[in-house]
Amino acid sequence: MIPVLVMLLLAILTPTIETSTLENEDQAQSTSGRQGSLDVDCSGYTFEDLFEYDFALFNLDINDDWATGAMEAQAWVNGSKSAAVRDNLDGLFEGVPGGDDDWMSTDEREAVRSIGPKCIADMETRLGIREGISHRGGVDWNDLEFVEDGIALDEVNLVPEGHSQERSCNSALSDPGCKEVPVTITDDLEIHLLTKAGENNNVRFDQLPNQGSSDFTLAMNITNITDARLVLTFPVEQGLRVADMGFYDDGELQEELASPMSEFLPDGRLRIVADVDYPLGSYPMVRNLFIDFTTTAPFTNEVPVWSSTAPAGGTIIPLGITNGEELASTEAEMWVIDESGWNLRCNFTSADEANGWSVRMDEDASLFVTAGGTSATAQCAGVDAFGAETVEHRNYTFGKVFTVVYPSTGMPEISRTVGDEISMTWYPTSLVTSLTVTAHAHQDSNMGPSVTQILESQTETNLSLTGISPGPVTIMGTATASGMLDYNFVLDYDLVKRNTPPTISIETNLQGQQAEWNLDGLKFTLSGNVIDPDGQDVTLMLWICDGTTTNFDRQNLAWEIQVSIANCIQNDVQSPYDIVIKATDESGGETTRLLQVVDPNAGAVDDSGNDASDDDDSESSGILPAPGLIATLLIGLVAAGWVSRRQD
């Protein structure tokens, strides 16, 4: 439920602030007061005006349409600055019940999350693009603007849970369970600007007519950004590179400031990483960052070359699928050497391409293969950002190297519960003549014993589940063969190891009795062992006379517990006493033991004159010789006192 505060806020919030844009570079950013109005209007604000931070990371990915982008920001706010942020946000709620009262509430937090995107949509991104020759200001920039429908806002620790100064919200309109803390607290917090789930952009600009294929300049006003990193990633555009860049203070190039770094990602995109700051006390100086882009080829460009670690021509690159995309290698980054960045380009036959075969590399240089059948061969080369290729083109064969059938016993697929081992059958494909497979059962950090087999035909394997706890289990291993990259696989058949409940034993003394009574006759001791076949931790609980206890002394498999009969006396429960001991393992498996313990001091006699204890089962009896006279008298006094109280 959206807090009442959100609806009230929609009719009251209008901050105003001095502004600075790329069109008016002489006026720098500075924080100003806020005044109420009848609409949410954060025009002129920047991210830094609301969220004073110690360090921030901004990521902007320009989409392939060259008209939209996804911006994400993560700001870390520590110490006194966190108090300033809480005060700024609380100040936004001036005129709202519970707002602007020097307390930051969970209602206000939810309101920030709910209407924050509407406020941010009015803010300045301070980023602009202009096509043509390089520009350094004084022109009409194509400014990026936020898109409300694509914005999500989140935070961490804005209202610390369970804070020592936490209190219930005072406003009568507060939501149930509302909590608040003073804005003066200095607990660290984080602010996150995100792209809303299901959306692919939260910023936009006028589409570049040539969509990045010709020269353009990007500019950012970084005045008052005291410490941040800006990461800009551009779509794939053949030959796109940085021609020039630098920081300018009031229009003057600052050569002593480190220039941003540019790199070509393996997926073909160009990335810029800039560490930006603004010296404290420098206001009203205006600092801008300008980056010039071009697609004009550089004067020199080294041709990419295969490295010594690259697979030789004719190598098999194994897969585990015949349809869809699979990660084939995380080491492809080492295959080609080129200072301009490179990408693996593989050409399949037209028939294979029609069936869906393709390869791609992501920004981390991981190689992904989309399969369109059992196997296919392609001619591959390393290609750099400017189109230069490795002189040698190498043929690689991509394909599935084995199939596994579980279980080999012909049981239906829905039967996924296994006991002490997994039975499976391997079927190698014709892609290799001999395949060496090492496999084991795997579960989080638990590993079963490994089994190594050479597969040349149908082969059955039993994998032990020793060391595996009850619950989901997968099969993990490596397949190797001559002329093939090693294939590291994880096979998930939704297998679940069956849980075996723990066992409980209760020790008896030389007289065959399980309970050892204290001399005072008010307590007895039970002991024994508890074992879980799966090696899980086990909890123990004991019931007696409608009371429970978990006060077991444990040492390895042994347990011991001293049991008081005070509850039995209080509830007028007569001997023999029914005892229940339950052992529960981590998976919820339970084992229960029932026994009776006879009070040797009860002296109960039935109507025929026979001692009632004569009818007890000796295997469940806890009778010991009667204690001495003093103990007998003490027990009698306790019983007498109890009878007296009942008569009162």
Taking only the tens place, the pLDDT of each residue in 480-507 is 999 999 999 998 888 888 888 999 999 9
Residue with the bigger pLDDT between 309 and 45: it is 309
Q: DSSP character for 424?
A: E
Q: How remote is the C-alpha of 195 from its chain's centroid?
A: 18
3-class secondary-structure state, position 145:
strand
Residue 316 belongs to a domain:
yes
Residue 614, judged by CB atoms within 10 A of its CB (0-12, 13-18, 19+), counts as exposed
Residue with the bigger pLDDT between 29 and 153: it is 153
pLDDT at 161 over 80: yes
Residue 346 CB coordination number (10 Å): 22
**Predicted pLDDT at 29:** 38
Co-location of 39 and 182 in the same domain: yes
Taking only the tens place, the pLDDT of each residue in 338-379 is 887 889 999 999 999 999 999 999 988 899 999 999 999 999
User: 306-320, 410-424, 509-523: which has the minimum mean pLDDT?
Assistant: 410-424
Average pLDDT over residues 305-318: 95
pLDDT-based confidence at residue 10 (cuts at 50, 70, 90) = very low
**Predicted pLDDT at 415:** 54
Amino acid in position 613:
S
pLDDT at 144 over 90: yes
Sheet with 547-549, edge to edge strand ranges: 547-549, 538-544, 577-585, 590-597
Co-location of 135 and 213 in the same domain: yes
Co-location of 275 and 310 in the same domain: no
Locate 514 and state its tokens: 């399980």
pLDDT at 646 over 50: no
Locate 459 and state its tokens: 């082969």
Average pLDDT over residues 237-247: 90
Average pLDDT over residues 221-246: 91
Sheet with 421-428, edge to edge strand ranges: 402-405, 421-428, 459-464
Q: Can you give the residue range of the structural domain that contains 550?
A: 503-646
Co-location of 377 and 482 in the same domain: no
CA separation for the pair 456, 434 (Å, rounded):
5
Co-location of 91 and 220 in the same domain: yes
565: Cβ contacts below 8 Å, ≥ 6 apart: 522, 523, 524, 544, 545, 577, 599
pLDDT-based confidence at residue 299 (cuts at 50, 70, 90) = confident
| Rg (the chain; Cα; Å) | 37
pLDDT at 13 over 50: no
Taking only the tens place, the pLDDT of each residue in 371-418 is 999 999 999 999 988 888 999 999 999 999 999 887 644 454 445 778
**Predicted pLDDT at 114:** 84
**Predicted pLDDT at 407:** 62
**Predicted pLDDT at 219:** 93
Co-location of 522 and 442 in the same domain: no
> Global pTM?
0.65
Q: Is 106 in contact with 115 (CB distance < 8 Å)?
A: no
Average pLDDT over residues 169-175: 85
Average pLDDT over residues 196-205: 94
**Predicted pLDDT at 341:** 81
pLDDT at 625 over 70: no
Helix, strand, coil tally for the chain in percent (to 5): 10, 40, 50
Q: Which of 22, 19, 7 is nearest to 122 (CA)?
A: 19
Domain final position from 334, 366, 400: 400
**Predicted pLDDT at 272:** 94
Co-location of 187 and 281 in the same domain: yes
User: 231-245, 329-343, 608-622: which has the minimum mean pLDDT?
Assistant: 608-622
Residue 564 belongs to a domain:
yes
Average pLDDT over residues 300-324: 93
Average pLDDT over residues 114-118: 85
Q: Is 439 in contact with 516 (CB distance < 8 Å)?
A: no
511: Cβ contacts below 8 Å, ≥ 6 apart: 624
Q: Which of 74, 69, 20 is nearest to 229 (CA)?
A: 74
Co-location of 52 and 166 in the same domain: yes
User: For the chain, how many structural domains are there in total?
Assistant: 4
Average pLDDT over residues 118-147: 89
Alpha-carbon distances, residue 159 vs 187, 191, 599, 643 (angstroms): 9, 12, 58, 58
Domain final position from 266, 294, 322: 294
Taking only the tens place, the pLDDT of each residue in 456-469 is 999 999 998 888 88
Co-location of 392 and 411 in the same domain: no
User: 75-89, 331-345, 585-599, 605-619: which has the minimum mean pLDDT?
Assistant: 605-619
Co-location of 617 and 527 in the same domain: yes
Average pLDDT score, the chain: 83
Co-location of 382 and 360 in the same domain: yes
**Predicted pLDDT at 39:** 52
**Predicted pLDDT at 65:** 94
Backbone angles phi, psi at 256, to 5 degrees: -80, -15
Residue 612 belongs to a domain:
yes
CA separation for the pair 632, 214 (Å, rounded):
105
Q: Which of 641, 469, 475, 502 is nearest to 566 (CA)?
A: 641
Sheet with 167-168, edge to edge strand ranges: 103-105, 179-182, 167-168
Taking only the tens place, the pLDDT of each residue in 421-462 is 888 899 999 899 899 999 999 988 888 899 999 999 999 999
Residue 24 belongs to a domain:
yes
CA separation for the pair 461, 283 (Å, rounded):
73
Looking up residue 350, the CATH number of its domain turns out to be 2.60.40
CA angle 186, 189, 192 (to 5 degrees): 155
Residue 300 belongs to a domain:
no
pLDDT-based confidence at residue 628 (cuts at 50, 70, 90) = very low
Residue with the bigger pLDDT between 484 and 586: it is 484
**Predicted pLDDT at 418:** 80
pLDDT at 555 over 50: yes
What percent of the chain clears pLDDT 70, i.e. is strictly above it? 85
**Predicted pLDDT at 235:** 92
pLDDT-based confidence at residue 54 (cuts at 50, 70, 90) = very high
Residue 332 belongs to a domain:
yes
Residue 354 belongs to a domain:
yes
**Predicted pLDDT at 5:** 42
Backbone angles phi, psi at 354, to 5 degrees: -65, -30
User: 17-21, 65-69, 130-134, 628-632: which has the minimum mean pLDDT?
Assistant: 628-632
Co-location of 316 and 373 in the same domain: yes
Q: Which of 225, 299, 298, 220 is nearest to 260 (CA)?
A: 220
**Predicted pLDDT at 40:** 61
pLDDT-based confidence at residue 170 (cuts at 50, 70, 90) = confident
219: Cβ contacts below 8 Å, ≥ 6 apart: 22, 127, 128, 129, 130, 135, 137, 141, 288, 289, 290, 291
Quick one: angle between helices 106-120 and 79-91, nearest 10? 80
Q: Is 33 in contact with 6 (CB distance < 8 Å)?
A: no
Average pLDDT over residues 292-317: 90
Q: Is 375 in contact with 398 (CB distance < 8 Å)?
A: yes
Domain final position from 433, 463, 497: 497
Looking up residue 607, the CATH number of its domain turns out to be 2.60.40.10
Average pLDDT over residues 289-298: 89
Task: Evaluate the omega torsion of the peptide bond into residue 284 and state whether it is cis, within 30 degrees of 0.
Answer: yes
Residue 299 belongs to a domain:
no
pLDDT at 206 over 50: yes
CA separation for the pair 602, 572 (Å, rounded):
12
Query: How many helices, marked H, and strands, marked E, lie in the chain?
Result: 7, 44
**Predicted pLDDT at 298:** 78
